[in-house]
């Protein structure tokens, strides 16, 4: 329960914000969000060590988790920064804010947080969290730049990296980085260097977890990664991204970020979390990488015998990699015998995908999978034992030893990835559990190769176990979280539907949609199912929908690149002169040209795909008309979606109604949200798909629309 002190603090600092922010406007929705976040996080006791059994049950049931849909203009960031930071300070927690995009991360750390701190009068500390590879490793840098031995920079000759000697430019750049770091004019974050650092340089001097000397490192006291980790423990607000958050939780939490038990999570852009999680928990590798790994393991053994005092570890590893040779040979033979009809090939017939069904997983196939998983697990165990021994070696390393550490890092990381893939492959799908999607890709572009893939079709259980059941509290928010006027989809995709006391909140928009916006649904004869005729009808209607007489912006959103280009190519030349097409120029360049055309008193039209339906912030005359070519239904054209659809059908469910209609409703709401971005914006949304009016699911989709005036 929220205390009187916490309430008073929130009220006082909100008053400060209202007085100190220029053009501040009281928004009822924002005040509701502030209050509900505080109320939710108030369910957490101050010290988790004092939790009794009843308290633990309460935290596991979702009492301290809130899902908020806050439309554009509500001021969500101020709401969660205010309530989140004050509740975190009172409850002795960290506020960890996670976003899906780098753009929002940068906006929070460079703009929103400094302005919020100044206006609110709150004494808060904040920082940004990145993966360790973003930071410099002083030990690696000094070892390289203190010597003139250039070949140490080249790495393993057989590894899939650059084989050439380090250039003079690379060496000069590293010396310059070293000098700047020693003088502390550069603090070790790659993005803070005044110009882009090439991967060929950075990969040799960055912080690599596989070869990090940790507490035994002579340069630990000045290591940027360890310094930022120590800083986290004293920091109120930590801004990160979904990928790093998921990585931390995969390691058990509290490794890259503060522990979940000591953290309030604010998941912004929360609608991206389910797919980010599926991607994060997936695994893949190529058969060709297996041979490279095998070759480099052999070289590794020779090097080990020259470095270690005992040959015992090398001999043990050698015995296991002899089995690896046999395993990969067996897979190579097996895959070449698979008939081509098993694969679904692309249009060029060069890349084919074989989705592994239960019928494909014969006893022999399963045994091959099990053998591969077992031998890789044993090799990884050997490598980790070798890693522990290497770290203990005296630190006055020779050039060859430092080169060996770089080589060892690649071998260890590659083995770790392959072991993860095959352990997942070895899991048996059962009717009681959500299955894993497993597939093999045959790539005949150039030299024949095969790729092994495995992925969860839903990350709901993993998210529930690793985040929601562990963290002190969580707020999930986005402008579009509801689908077909319900939170059911996002709750099921994130596993929050398994926690009975999770609260949901829908906030009203501060904009007067009925006065500011119109919705127009022309009566097209053809539906998008008749692709060619629908395209022809769009071309015929276009001059009726878009006028070139006024200097205003139009955004036309397509779900198909082919349709977008076909419409563009067949419009009259006078229209094409005003159209900017996504993909024909960089996005920033396109937006600059769009703005300039309107400033020059000319109409401007943007043709874009689904990615332009989200994150485009075109205020005022820059976007007065949004035209949506068709309902943006996803196409189950990848193995994960296909396996998910098959699984739903076996449960007696309709994938179209269960997944594709709800997902399309979110995408439509996002696309319509491009129109009204402020209280003074105005305009029209036109949707060229009569299925909204004529289909049984059309009403469901329209129930999620903003309340625009219908014309």
Locate 398 and state its tokens.
């020779």
* C-beta of residue 350 within 8 angstroms of C-beta of residue 445: yes
- Of 45, 17, 41, the closest CA to residue 31 belongs to 17
**How many angstroms separate the CA atoms of 393 and 116, rounded?**
49
**How many angstroms separate the CA atoms of 232 and 258, rounded?**
7
Q: Identify the pLDDT of residue 395.
A: 53
Concatenated DSSP letters of 184-204: TSS-SBGGGSSSPPPHHHHHH
298 to 302, 322, 383, 410: CA distances (angstroms)? 7, 9, 13, 14
**How many angstroms separate the CA atoms of 451 and 391, rounded?**
34
Q: Identify the pLDDT of residue 660.
A: 94
Q: Identify the pLDDT of residue 624.
A: 97
Q: Identify the pLDDT of residue 431.
A: 66
Q: Identify the pLDDT of residue 381.
A: 94
**How many angstroms separate the CA atoms of 674 and 663, rounded?**
18
Q: Residue 710 is inside which H or E element, if any?
A: strand 709-710
- Of 586, 475, 614, 557, the closest CA to residue 68 belongs to 475
* C-beta of residue 161 within 8 angstroms of C-beta of residue 173: no
- CA torsion through residues 79, 81, 82, 86, sign: positive
- Which one-letter DSSP state was computed for residue 469? T
**How many angstroms separate the CA atoms of 325 and 344, rounded?**
29
- Of 464, 487, 468, the closest CA to residue 69 belongs to 487
- Which positions ≥6 away from 57 have C-beta within 8 Å? none
**How many angstroms separate the CA atoms of 18 and 274, rounded?**
35
**How many angstroms separate the CA atoms of 158 and 410, rounded?**
11
- Of 261, 231, 253, 254, the closest CA to residue 135 belongs to 231
Q: What is the pTM of this model?
A: 0.88
Residue ranges, the chain, pLDDT below 50: 47-51, 53, 55-58, 148-164
Q: Identify the pLDDT of residue 164.
A: 41
Locate 186 and state its tokens.
């550069």
Q: Identify the pLDDT of residue 56.
A: 45
What percentage of the chain's residues is helix, strand, coil (to nearest 5)? 50, 15, 35
For the chain, domains (ranges, CATH) are 4-129+228-278+460-506 (3.40.50.300), 136-222 (no CATH), 284-456 (no CATH), 513-710 (3.40.50.300)
Q: Residue 440 is inside which H or E element, if any?
A: strand 436-443
List phi, psi (to 5°) of 126: -150, 155
CA torsion 638-640-641-646 (nearest 10°) is 120
Cα 484 versus chain centre, distance: 25
Cα angle 165, 170, 172; round to 5: 125
Cα 122 versus chain centre, distance: 31
List phi, psi (to 5°) of 390: -60, -40
* C-beta of residue 679 within 8 angstroms of C-beta of residue 509: no
**How many angstroms separate the CA atoms of 119 and 85, rounded?**
14
List phi, psi (to 5°) of 284: -155, 150
Locate 3 and state its tokens.
């205390």
**How many angstroms separate the CA atoms of 535 and 528, rounded?**
8
| Segment 406-424, tens digit of pLDDT | 778 889 999 999 999 999 9
Q: Identify the pLDDT of residue 1.
A: 87
| CA atoms lying within 13 Å on the CB side of residue 511 | 24
**How many angstroms separate the CA atoms of 135 and 131, rounded?**
8
Task: Please list the residues that pair with 26 across neighbouring strands.
Answer: none
Locate 239 and state its tokens.
């801004």
* C-beta of residue 593 within 8 angstroms of C-beta of residue 553: no
Locate 507 and state its tokens.
């906030």
Q: Identify the pLDDT of residue 349.
A: 73
List phi, psi (to 5°) of 447: -80, 135
């Amino acid at each position: 329960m929220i205390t009187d002190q916490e309430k008073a603090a929130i009220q006082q600092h909100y008053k400060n914000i209202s007085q100190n922010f220029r053009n501040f406007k009281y928004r009822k929705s924002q005040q509701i969000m502030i209050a509900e976040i505080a109320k939710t996080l108030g369910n957490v006791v101050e010290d988790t060590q004092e939790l009794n059994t009843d308290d633990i049950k309460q935290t596991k049931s979702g009492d301290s988790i809130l899902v908020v849909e806050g439309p554009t203009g509500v001021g969500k960031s101020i709401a969660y920064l205010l309530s989140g930071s004050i509740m975190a300070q009172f409850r002795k927690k960290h506020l960890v804010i996670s976003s899906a995009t780098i753009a929002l991360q940068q906006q929070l750390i460079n703009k929103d947080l400094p302005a919020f701190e100044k206006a609110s009068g709150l004494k808060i500390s904040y920082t940004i969290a990145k993966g360790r590879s973003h930071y410099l490793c002083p030990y690696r840098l000094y070892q390289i730049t203190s010597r003139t031995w250039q070949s140490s920079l080249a790495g393993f000759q057989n590894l899939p990296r650059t084989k050439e000697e380090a250039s003079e430019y690379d060496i000069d750049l590293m010396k310059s980085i070293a000098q700047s770091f020693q003088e502390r004019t550069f603090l070790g974050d790659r993005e803070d260097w005044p110009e882009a650092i090439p991967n060929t340089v950075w990969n040799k001097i960055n912080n690599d977890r596989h070869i990090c000397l940790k507490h035994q490192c002579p340069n630990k006291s000045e290591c940027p990664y360890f310094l930022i980790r120590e800083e986290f423990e004293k920091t109120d607000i930590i801004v990160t991204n979904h990928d790093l958050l998921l990585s931390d939780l995969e390691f058990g939490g509290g490794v890259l970020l503060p522990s979940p038990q000591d953290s309030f999570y604010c998941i912004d852009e929360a609608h991206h979390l389910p797919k980010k999680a599926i991607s994060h928990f997936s695994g893949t590798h190529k058969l060709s990488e297996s041979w490279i790994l095998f070759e480099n393991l052999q070289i590794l053994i020779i090097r080990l015998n020259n470095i270690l005092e005992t040959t015992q570890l090398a001999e043990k590893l050698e015995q296991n990699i002899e089995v690896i040779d046999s395993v990969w040979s067996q897979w190579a033979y097996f895959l070449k015998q698979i008939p081509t009809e098993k694969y679904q090939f692309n249009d060029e017939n060069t890349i084919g995908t074989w989705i592994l069904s239960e019928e494909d997983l014969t006893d022999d196939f399963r045994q091959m999978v099990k053998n591969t998983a077992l031998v890789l697990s044993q090799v990884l165990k050997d490598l980790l034992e070798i890693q522990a021994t290497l770290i203990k070696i005296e630190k006055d390393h020779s050039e060859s030893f430092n080169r060996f550490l770089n080589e060892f890092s690649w071998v260890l990381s590659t083995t770790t990835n392959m072991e993860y893939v095959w352990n997942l492959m070895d899991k048996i799908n059962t009717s009681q559990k959500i299955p894993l999607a497993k597939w093999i890709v045959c790539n005949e572009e150039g030299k024949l190769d095969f790729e092994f893939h495995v992925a969860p079709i839903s990350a709901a259980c993993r998210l529930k176990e690793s985040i929601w059941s562990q963290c002190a509290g969580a707020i999930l928010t986005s402008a579009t979280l509801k689908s077909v006027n319900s939170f059911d989809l996002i709750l099921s995709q994130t596993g929050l539907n398994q926690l009975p006391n999770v609260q949901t909140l829908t906030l009203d928009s501060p904009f007067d949609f009925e006065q500011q916006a119109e919705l127009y649904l022309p009566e097209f004869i053809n539906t998008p199912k008749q692709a060619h005729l629908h395209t022809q009808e769009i071309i015929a209607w276009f001059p009726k929908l878009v006028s070139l007489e006024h200097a205003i912006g139009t955004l036309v959103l397509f779900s198909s690149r082919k349709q977008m280009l076909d419409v563009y190519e067949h419009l009259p030349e006078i229209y094409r002169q005003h159209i900017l097409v996504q993909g024909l120029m960089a996005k920033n360049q396109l937006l600059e040209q769009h703005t300039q055309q309107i400033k020059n008193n000319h109409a401007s039209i943007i043709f874009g795909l689904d990615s332009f339906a989200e994150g485009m912030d075109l205020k005022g005359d820059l976007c007065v008309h949004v035209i949506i070519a068709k309902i943006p239904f996803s196409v189950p054209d990848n193995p994960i979606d296909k396996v998910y659809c098959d699984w739903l059908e076996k449960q007696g469910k309709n994938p179209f109604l269960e997944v594709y209609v709800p997902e399309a409703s979110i995408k439509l709401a996002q696309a319509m949200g491009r129109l009204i971005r402020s209280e003074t914006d105005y305009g029209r949304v036109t949707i060229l798909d009569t299925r909204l009016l004529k289909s049984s699911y059309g009403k469901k989709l329209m129930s999620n629309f903003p309340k625009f005036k219908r014309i």
